[in-house]
A and B are shown apart, each in its own frame.
Chain A
Amino acid sequence: MIKRLFHSRVLQHFFKDPLAIIGVLILFVMLIGAIFAPLIAPQNPYDPRALSLQDSLQPPLWMPGGKAPFLLGTDDQGRDILSTILYGCRTSFTVGFSVVLLAGLIGVTIGLIAAFYGGVLDAVTMRVADTLFSFSTTLMAMLLLGIFKGGGIPLVILAIVIADWVRYARTMRGSTLGVKQEDYVEAARAIGSPNLRIMFRHILPNAIPPILVVAAVDFGAAVMLEATLSFLGVGVPINEPSLGMMIASGKNYIYAGMWWLTIFPGIALIAIVLGVNLLADWLREEINPRLKRG
């Protein structure tokens, strides 16, 4: 069913939606930049041998005093802002994809099992989920990073996953409860299919579309959360790239008129999140035709 969906109708609709195309284009450019950062970036800003303090705080190339090859200027350690953004995007995408994958896997599994078996199991897991959900994810992630400090990117991912899987679990449970009532599930049960087969062959594929929307929105949220945590100084360590940290360390220079340290990474962060959200919007409308614009 999913296959058919994606092959015909969806693609046609996609090319009729300019916002979705813009979103995908932005994401594509950023993703290419991030993946090939070591090849395209003029400098590896996290190799101290490549840096020189003499190049610190240079304005962007088009401003008076700008210096090649620093297109977007440099920061207080002489790191090229453009290169640092490219490397920072790698972190953003790594965190975004990992969180969606891990949190999705955990959340979907728990939601599916809870809804399928129901009863006490459902009640307990969903109350735990409700409790977790009542905390803001930022707070949860900060708490976890505070307890297990100094772990780098993997720990940041883990903290966000722990704070985040609930979204998937709740959505999955909801859509599973709906699909569970369908005739084909009853039929499968009637011919004596084992529970696991019913869950993963019959229910999962049909209950998954809403999860795709959640995943797309969550990707943006995870990227933003990593930036927030790094901005606050509890996320990625200072010797690893992060857009949030660039914004944080640059903000003190705004009063000194050196806006490029903060504004450019800020734009990059906005671009990623905007691209993802445009895509998510389109996806939501596609999956739920009732929301279609007139």
Chain B
Amino acid sequence: MKKAVALILLGLLVVGLAGLVGVAKDTIIVGVGAPPRTMNPYGSDSDANLSVMSNIFDGLLQRDANGDLMPALATSWERIDALTWRFHLRKGVKFHNGNDFTWEDVKFSMERLKQPYPVSEFLAFGNLIKSVEMVNGDPWTIDIVTTVPTSYFDQNLHQIFIMDKESTENRSIGEIGENPIGTGAYKFVKWVKGSYLKLEANENYWGGAPSVKYAEFRPITEPSTRVAAISTGTVDILQDVPVELFNSIAKNPSLQVITRPARRSIWLGLGNKPGTPTSDVRVRKAMYMAINEQEIIDKVMFGHADLCSQIPDPPTVGYDASIKRLPYDPAQAKKLLAEAGYPDGFMITLTGPNDRYVRDEQIEQAIVTQLSKVGIKVTLDSKPKAVYFPEVDAHKLEFYLIGWFDGSYDFGRSFSKLLHSVDKDAGLGGLNGSGYSDPTLDKLFEASSGIINPQLRGQELQILNKVAMDEKIAIIPLHYQEDSYAIYKASGVNFTPRSDTWVVFKDMSIGK
């Protein structure tokens, strides 16, 4: 008995001493909203996954915190002609397993994009690639040829990560999804699904060894648990501060809150199948005017969002500042509905996710309330994203809430996925949830995709955007989300939020 007490005391002493000496902090833990789905870099095109992957893998190109395109595994690049892109590759880069990075890995990776799920969710992009070849026998210069002129080709390469040919070919897809091998600044250590993902600095990184030794992603979904985690310093950085708790976090003296306007717009898709009320542009206008977005921002988003009048955000090619929101005017909305032959409104189902965007379910409920004031009876079908997004892919929704930000900063690409008439074989309209179809808009898009001059193409896309928003009311825009982060001050973490919301550990440091 005495012995046991002595042992316990000794143990406490050791712990106490260790505490006094103090262990230098070498780990940053980030609390994120959504867990990664897979460690296969092509297995998911969600930001939650790409954010994680960007630490373990490199693309040919990368983006800095401001979103500017920078060299990565390619040191420079140029567009040779409408179809051909030339890349000069970085020499002396090694994968985490010791293999050398060569042009064969690039070729292998680009071809791997074309294999269907579960290998790749980047099918549409993969199918744009016709060939990857050496130039004049120089293995450090390659030409990538696309099947059709693709102006935004380079703009997408920061999210196409390069895989090791040898180890990828020799492993099953299951194994690849568990144990990633890249060239990135961090090496994979351990992944406990739904609990945490641990990474270790790659001392041989081509960009120099990162300053933080260990990095950890910890997915926490429940808002109150998230707040508890950051308030106690269980996590050093919390991504996406719950807006309803924003003020109580901002008031906490041990926390620092950083916000930046987000690139993601939240909007309502609306079908236009002939015979449905929403095929009449007057009805679309009426629904737009019946929504009091400022009230949603004030009351549902607690002020943490900005009005939006179109899908793209200002830095995106095709953004047009001259597009204005229709005013909130329920009286005018009622008049338009009466003119269109629906004086008593009509019934419609609003479908949306309840675990994807900031306050998505609350926004949906607010829309139901607001539309009921002009007589439109909305049935709400709010469901988990795992159930919702397959329904978007099936193009059968009448009226749906969705968010979008274009990683390649190109409204042409956005349009082709979101609003172009569905054409599976051509890879068009893949995310067109209602099967919206307008020949005028399709033609405007096709006209823009042939233009090589970026400036002219940008103008063409602006026209497409303006016609879609002002004339056709192709969608009802709501707001741009605001990105927010909370930092536990005592952790001493230096962190700058990125425009793409990715958590990139090589940009972070600890201490002064």
In contact, B227 and A238 (Cβ under 8 angstroms): no
B290 to chain A, nearest CB (A): 12
Q: In the complex, what distance in Å separates the CA atom of A254 from the CA atom of B228? A: 12
In contact, A53 and B244 (Cβ under 8 angstroms): no
DSSP class of B's interface residues: helix, strand, loop or mixed? Answer: helix
DSSP class of A's interface residues: helix, strand, loop or mixed? Answer: loop
The stretch that binds B, out of A44-52, A114-122, A134-142, is A44-52
In contact, B369 and A52 (Cβ under 8 angstroms): yes
Q: Taking beta carbons and an 8 Å cutoff, which residues of B are in contact with A? A: 223-224, 227, 242, 244-245, 247-248, 292, 295-296, 299-300, 361-362, 365-366, 368-373, 378-380, 382
In contact, A48 and B372 (Cβ under 8 angstroms): yes
In contact, A53 and B224 (Cβ under 8 angstroms): no
- Residues on A with beta carbons closer than 8 Å to the beta carbon of B368: 48
In contact, B224 and A54 (Cβ under 8 angstroms): no
Q: In the complex, what distance in Å separates the CA atom of A76 from the CA atom of B382? A: 16
- Residues on B with beta carbons closer than 8 Å to the beta carbon of A251: 224
Contact partner of A77 (CB less than 8 A), chosen from B224, B242, B366, is: B366
Q: In the complex, what distance in Å separates the CA atom of A238 from the CA atom of B368? A: 12
User: What would 10 A/B residue contacts be, using CB atoms closer than 8 Å?
Assistant: A48-B368, A49-B372, A49-B373, A52-B369, A53-B295, A57-B299, A252-B244, A252-B245, A256-B247, A256-B248
In contact, A257 and B248 (Cβ under 8 angstroms): yes
- Residues on A with beta carbons closer than 8 Å to the beta carbon of B380: 238-239
Q: In the complex, what distance in Å separates the CA atom of A219 from the CA atom of B154? A: 64
For the complex of A and B, list the 3 residue pairs with the smallest distance between their C-beta atoms, beginning with the closest: A48-B372, A48-B369, A53-B299
Residue A56 is within 8 A (CB to CB) of chain B in the complex: yes
Residue A15 is within 8 A (CB to CB) of chain B in the complex: no
In contact, B369 and A53 (Cβ under 8 angstroms): yes
How many chain A residues touch B (CB < 8 A): the figure is 21
Q: A47-B372, A255-B245 are in contact. List 12 more A-B contacts (CB 8 A).
A: A48-B369, A48-B371, A48-B378, A49-B369, A53-B369, A54-B299, A77-B362, A239-B380, A251-B224, A254-B224, A256-B247, A256-B248
In contact, A76 and B244 (Cβ under 8 angstroms): yes
Q: In the complex, what distance in Å separates the CA atom of A53 from the CA atom of B365? A: 10
Contact partner of A256 (CB less than 8 A), chosen from B245, B292, B300, is: B245
Contact partner of B295 (CB less than 8 A), chosen from A48, A49, A54, A76, is: A54
B206 to chain A, nearest CB (A): 44
In contact, A53 and B248 (Cβ under 8 angstroms): no
Residue A97 is within 8 A (CB to CB) of chain B in the complex: no
A129 to chain B, nearest CB (A): 34
A87 to chain B, nearest CB (A): 16
Q: In the complex, what distance in Å separates the CA atom of A238 from the CA atom of B224? A: 20
- Residues on A with beta carbons closer than 8 Å to the beta carbon of B227: 255
Residue A253 is within 8 A (CB to CB) of chain B in the complex: yes
A105 to chain B, nearest CB (A): 33
- Residues on A with beta carbons closer than 8 Å to the beta carbon of B362: 76-77
The residue on A at minimum CB distance from B379 is A239
The residue on B at minimum CB distance from A57 is B299
Q: In the complex, what distance in Å separates the CA atom of A77 from the CA atom of B245? A: 16
- Residues on A with beta carbons closer than 8 Å to the beta carbon of B366: 53, 77
Q: In the complex, what distance in Å separates the CA atom of A255 from the CA atom of B366? A: 23
Q: In the complex, what distance in Å separates the CA atom of A173 from the CA atom of B227? A: 52
Chain A positions 91 through 107: 1 when the CB is less than 8 Å from some CB of chain B, otherwise 0: 00000000000000000
Q: In the complex, what distance in Å separates the CA atom of A257 from the CA atom of B242? A: 14
- Residues on B with beta carbons closer than 8 Å to the beta carbon of A255: 224, 227, 245, 248
In contact, A53 and B223 (Cβ under 8 angstroms): no
Q: In the complex, what distance in Å separates the CA atom of A56 from the CA atom of B245? A: 15
Q: In the complex, what distance in Å separates the CA atom of A238 from the CA atom of B371? A: 18
B240 to chain A, nearest CB (A): 13
B352 to chain A, nearest CB (A): 11
Q: In the complex, what distance in Å separates the CA atom of A57 from the CA atom of B300? A: 10
- Residues on B with beta carbons closer than 8 Å to the beta carbon of A257: 248
In contact, B365 and A77 (Cβ under 8 angstroms): yes
- Residues on B with beta carbons closer than 8 Å to the beta carbon of A57: 299
- Residues on A with beta carbons closer than 8 Å to the beta carbon of B245: 252-253, 255-256
Q: In the complex, what distance in Å separates the CA atom of A82 from the CA atom of B64? A: 52
On whether A238 and B382 interact (CB within 8 A), knowing A53-B369, A77-B369, the answer reads yes
- Residues on B with beta carbons closer than 8 Å to the beta carbon of A47: 372
Q: In the complex, what distance in Å separates the CA atom of A76 from the CA atom of B224? A: 16
- Residues on B with beta carbons closer than 8 Å to the beta carbon of A56: 299-300
- Residues on A with beta carbons closer than 8 Å to the beta carbon of B295: 53-54
The residue on B at minimum CB distance from A257 is B248
Q: In the complex, what distance in Å separates the CA atom of A51 from the CA atom of B369? A: 6
On whether A253 and B244 interact (CB within 8 A), knowing A53-B295, A53-B300, the answer reads yes
Contact partner of B244 (CB less than 8 A), chosen from A49, A52, A256, is: A256
- Residues on A with beta carbons closer than 8 Å to the beta carbon of B370: 53
Q: In the complex, what distance in Å separates the CA atom of A77 from the CA atom of B300? A: 8
Most B CB atoms within 10 A — which of A76, A78, A251, A256?
Answer: A256
